[in-house]
Amino acid sequence: MSLTPYIVLSAILFTIGAVGVLTRRNALVVFMCVELMLNACNLALVTFAKQHGNLDGQVAAFFVMVVAAAEVVVGLAIIMTIFRTRRSASVDDASLLKY
Amino acid sequence: MTAFWILSPVMVLAALGILFVRKAVHAALLLAVVMMSLSVLYLVLEAPFLFAVQVIVYTGAILMLFLFVVMLVGVDASDSSVETIRGQRLAATLVGLALGAVLVLAVGQVSLGAVTGMGAANADGNVEGIAALLFTRYVFAFEAIAALLITAALGAMVLAHRERLTPKQTQGEMAAQRMRDYAESGKHPGPLPAPGVYARHNAVDTPALLPDGSISELSVSRVMQARGVVRSAPALADDIDPIARQLGVPDQDPARAPETSGKSGAVTDTEEDRA
Amino acid sequence: MSLSLADAQIPVVDPGAADGVLSLLWLVIALPLAGAVVLLLGGALARGAMDRWGHWLGTATVAGSFALSLAAFFALLGRDEADRQVGQSLWTWFEAGGLKVGMDLLYDPLNALFLLLITGVGTLIHVYSIGYMEHDPRRRRFFGYLNLFVAAMLVLVLSANFLGVFLGWEGVGLASYLLIGFWQHKPSAAAAAKKAFVINRVGDIGLSLAIALMFATFGSTDFSVISAASSEAGQGTLNAIGLLLLLGACGKSAQVPLQAWLLDAMEGPTPVSALIHAATMVTAGVYLVVRSNFIFELAPAAQTATVVVATVTLLWGAVLGCAKDDIKKALAGSTMSQIGYMMLAAGLGVAGYAFAIFHLLTHGFFKANMFLGAGSVMHGMDDDVDMRHYGGLRKYMPVTFLTFAMGYLAIIGFPLFSGFWSKDKIIETALAENLLVGLCALLGAGITGFYMTRLMLMTFFGEKRWEPGVHPHESPKVMTVPLVVLAALSVLGGVLLLGDWIVEFLAPVTGVAEHHEPPLPALVITTIVVAVVALGVAAAWFLVGRKEVPRTAPTEVSPVVRAARADLYGDQLNDVLVVRPGTSLARGLTTMDRVGVDGVVEGGAAALGGLSTVGRRLQNGFVRSYALSVVGGVLLVVLALLAVNLA
């Protein structure tokens, strides 16, 4: 039994997440896509942990989850602040920092 | 592998759904599907601790946080499908496809060899194994991540906090203001009229009727008006006739019929009582 | 041109220690310097006292210097001929790498005579100025400047190294600038001061380059070191040094081609013209050539150039003197011509040095006398300088007339007057060295006779042509006494030549020349010179004295006269040769700077700016665009990794 399908699934999910970040404009959905990418990475980590038979991969996945939690907290707070002032959750509207 | 083959199409479809659904709530729900499926895969991959964390922390906490924010921002806030950046969608699709193809081909080519399995690693129990690693080899990373988490919590507090620039209005001041408004512009000082209450219906989406039979705009929330979900009182009244017929209630003379609102006929003859 | 060089013996400057009164040498400079400091800076502290007593202080300091110089002169005479060179080291001026320059003084027969001339004539002119500048509200400042000039001039002649000479050289240049432009409210005076300053800078470049070259060649700027080592340097180097020194001398002494400033410099007060632009500063070039004899004796090309420059100048100045109606400008032309004689003598080498100095001294006397006389005339004629408005003044200004006449007789070389001895010797030497140059000098003497007689006739003889309301009167005693003294010196200056005294006295500095037989016996030459001068005087009598002088200068004149009135087109020549090409060059450079350099700079900036305007469009502010770039980068990195791994 090869674990390759898991890795392939991980790659597919990662790519879908990336494309989502690039195409969606709602900041919340963009964040969800980022989460999707992180989860895809976690899947790869856990898969490799099983492949190699040690727990380091799982510990790494655990760390990723914590970082993701922190990121979501701050990110959502930022989205809230922006929404409060601009009445919009679109990432394209926050485009004043430019030429 | 059975679980994998069942779940993986579900996950891919759900993930693709995130790309295409227009409402953020739906995207969040689809993400929940992906995450729950992932947790099952973790179980298959002999990672019970991560399974628990994925379900409890990720899906249970983080995703719910997402949903909270979605509610705050507005459930109905949806993307318009018009792309604002020229060529972005096409380029993103092309780059995404290329990246996906390259990644899939690359990892598909690699032969991973025999799977070692977690038997030895999980001999003392998965949670104990992870704990042993976390508090020995990764203890500094663990500390750092703890600091990061606290910092993030503080940061979120700071970002979400709004400084009050003026003193809070007291109730007395508000009352005085109300009377002042009434004196100056004739604005009604009392509470807004309540929504309509009908024999078969008592809801915030139904406007009250004024004595002359017209609708009181003030009796329903502006938000509901904007969404167009306000019901029409005459339509409700029309619904009453077939039901009355069904129940064998003889046609009432409209002249004798009680007022649709008002204290006089409110308690005496309601539909519920009759039923 | 064949000049005697081989037989030249160049004395080495090797001063002994100063003792007795000679150790007070520094005081000669310090006195007028202190006077200048007090007069120029002290005015703010005690303006009233300074304005009342300042001119006496200024005169006293110079008189003190004169007394010291006199004492030093006799102390020097009391010494053996062998150690008549005295040095005094005051302090180390500066030290930089191999260059060590001391504030060193050198006292030898050459600058002993200069000291007497500068302080003596200087004292007389200070006294004269007390009267001349009596009504000027800025008299205190005038005396401060005069003292500053005297101090700088003394530094120039007393210094024992070329850098010290340069210090004094620049100091007199500054004083000259300040004094020419003393009446700076007149635009002409301000312009003249600027002109003198700028043209002198050209000469100063020569002098400073010469000093630099000497340091590079000999490793020192001391006279003693250079004079001892000069024979070891290459011929080309020595010629270069000599020519550069000559350039410096030309600037300071108003020799062709840097002569244009001297006539304009007459815008200054007349005592200034007498002291600076006749007696002392303009002769600094002659001093420089004579002092650098250890260079010039070994640099035949430089000597030849000196002779050529001097000959051209003596004729040039004489021609100018004939055409000018401004009494001071006529005298200035004569000064230029007389300095030409001195330079000629200096250029002739060992045989001429002593006569150059001799003529310098006598010229200092009689020209200062005449300038002060001219000032006295102007004083009486309400500051009118046009000789056509004079006439018949001998009865109204008898003292001025008589003293001026002494100077006149001296300059034209009337027998037994001082100029007769000095000019005659120069012409004699020139004839002995080179016939052509000698003949030119002879011609110059004739022209001198002509224009000086013309000046005399137009000023003191003939009909009155005064402006209405002018009442000529004799000047006060304070002005006439210096005139009398100077007139006496003009008459008696020739005694210095008694028994060849001055030649022998200067021998320790200038060396001893082998006697050259002149082509004709000396007496014959003298007779010829006197005859030529008499011709000039007679010509003047026939052309000017016998006819009525028109009050306004006739406009229909020969081209020669017109050219002479226009300073022989010296200014135009400068304009065409230097100013206009310089202006064009500057314009061209400006255009090149604006179009070329600025174009490249601004064009580069504009190109970069344009590129940025296009490039900044990449910064569109959309997070998703940036994310696309990141993902594209990831794709490339992955591809690169794969390519590396699979290759």
**Residue B46 CA: distances (Å) to CA of A51, B53, B117, B125, C116:** 11, 14, 8, 10, 119
Distance CA B8, CA C339 (A): 115
Query: Cα C450 vs. chain centroid, distance in angstroms?
Result: 25
Is B60 a domain residue?
Answer: yes
The residue written with tokens 């700016």 in the block is C609
More confident residue, C16 or C160: C160
Reported as a single tens digit per residue, the pLDDT across B154-194 is 999 998 888 788 888 899 999 999 899 999 988 888 888 88
Kindly indicate the confidence band of residue B274, based on its pLDDT and cuts at 50, 70 and 90: very low
C17's enclosing H/E stretch is strand C16-17
B184's enclosing H/E stretch is helix B171-185
Query: Cα B227 vs. chain centroid, distance in angstroms?
Result: 17
CATH of residue B35: 1.20.120.1200
Chain A partners within 8 Å of B91 (Cβ): 22
Query: Cα A33 vs. chain centroid, distance in angstroms?
Result: 5
Kindly indicate the confidence band of residue B275, based on its pLDDT and cuts at 50, 70 and 90: very low
Chain B partners within 8 Å of C628 (Cβ): 88, 91-92, 95
Q: Is the pLDDT of residue B252 over 60?
A: no
Give the helix ranges, DSSP H, for chain A.
4-23, 27-52, 56-86
Is B119 a domain residue?
Answer: no
Are B5 and B51 part of one and the same domain? Answer: yes
> What mean pLDDT value characterizes chain B?
82
Is B265 a domain residue?
Answer: no
Reported as a single tens digit per residue, the pLDDT across B57-106 is 889 999 999 998 888 886 555 556 677 788 888 999 999 999 999 999 88
Kindly indicate the confidence band of residue C149, based on its pLDDT and cuts at 50, 70 and 90: very high
State whether residue A82 sits within 8 Å of chain C by CB: no
**Least confident interval from B111-125, B256-270, C76-90, C544-558:** B256-270
Write out residues 604-643 of C within 8 Å (CB-CB) of A. Answer: 616-617, 619-624, 627-628, 631
- Record the tokens describing residue B153, joined without a space: 């919590």
Kindly indicate the confidence band of residue C416, based on its pLDDT and cuts at 50, 70 and 90: confident
State whether residue A1 sits within 8 Å of chain C by CB: no
Contact at 8 Å (CB) between C447 and C322? Answer: yes
Shortest Cα distance, chain B CAs vs residue A10, angstroms:
9
- According to DSSP, the β-strands at C99-107 and C86-96 are antiparallel
Kindly indicate the confidence band of residue C517, based on its pLDDT and cuts at 50, 70 and 90: low
Q: Is the pLDDT of residue C7 over 50?
A: no
| Orientation angle between helical segments C47-77 and C139-158, nearest 10 degrees | 30
Q: Is the pLDDT of residue C632 over 60?
A: yes
Kindly indicate the confidence band of residue B267, based on its pLDDT and cuts at 50, 70 and 90: very low
Is B168 a domain residue?
Answer: no
DSSP output for C516-540: ---SS-HHHHHHHHHHHHHHHHHHH
Cβ separation A1–B115 shorter than 8 A = yes
Q: Is the pLDDT of residue C291 over 70?
A: yes
Reported as a single tens digit per residue, the pLDDT across C29-65 is 999 999 999 888 877 677 777 778 888 999 999 999 9
Provide the residue type at C111 as one letter.
N
**Least confident interval from B9-13, C182-186, C492-496:** C492-496
State whether residue C620 sits within 8 Å of chain B by CB: yes
DSSP output for C428-489: HHHHHH-HHHHHHHHHHHHHHHHHHHHHHHHHHSSS--PPTT----PPPHHHHHHHHHHHHH
Provide the residue type at C189 as one letter.
A
- Contacts (Cβ under 8 Å, ≥6 apart) of C220: C99, C100, C161, C214, C226
Nearest to C259 by CA among C241, C273, C270, C247: C247
The residue written with tokens 């502010």 in the block is C621
Is B152 a domain residue?
Answer: yes
Give mean pLDDT, residues A73-83: 89
Sheet with C86-96, strands from edge to edge, namely C16-17, C86-96, C99-107
Kindly indicate the confidence band of residue C547, based on its pLDDT and cuts at 50, 70 and 90: confident
Cβ separation A91–C623 shorter than 8 A = yes
Are B147 and B210 part of one and the same domain? Answer: no
Kindly indicate the confidence band of residue C623, based on its pLDDT and cuts at 50, 70 and 90: confident
Chain A with chain C: Cβ pairs closer than 8 A? 31
Reported as a single tens digit per residue, the pLDDT across B201-239 is 667 778 888 888 777 878 887 777 777 777 776 777 677
Are B65 and B133 part of one and the same domain? Answer: no
How many C-beta atoms lie closer than 10 Å to residue C518's C-beta?
A: 17
Is B81 a domain residue?
Answer: no
Kindly indicate the confidence band of residue B112, based on its pLDDT and cuts at 50, 70 and 90: confident
State whether residue B235 sits within 8 Å of chain C by CB: no
- Picking from C624, C634, C642, the nearest residue to B88 by CB comes out as C624
Alpha-carbon dihedral sign for residues C220, C223, C229, C232: positive
Residue of B nearest to A92 (CA): B84
Reported as a single tens digit per residue, the pLDDT across C382-407 is 888 888 888 888 888 888 999 999 99
Cβ separation B102–C628 shorter than 8 A = no
Nearest to C486 by CA among C373, C571, C394: C373
State whether residue B102 sits within 8 Å of chain C by CB: yes
- Cβ burial of B89 (10 Å; 0-12, 13-18, 19+) is middle
C86 — phi, psi (to 5°)?
A: -125, 135
**Residue B171 CA: distances (Å) to CA of B165, B167, B175, B176, C503:** 18, 12, 6, 9, 123
Most C CBs within 10 Å, among B19, B86, B95, B110, to test the C interface: B95
Chain A partners within 8 Å of C620 (Cβ): 95, 98-99
The total number of structural domains that make up chain B: 3
Domain span holding position B148: 127-157
Is B198 a domain residue?
Answer: yes
Identify the DSSP state of C551.
S
Q: Is the pLDDT of residue C123 over 70?
A: yes
Is B82 a domain residue?
Answer: no
More confident residue, B131 or A93: B131
- Contacts (Cβ under 8 Å, ≥6 apart) of B145: A63, A66, A67
Give mean pLDDT, residues C222-238: 87
Q: What pLDDT is recorded for position C122?
A: 93
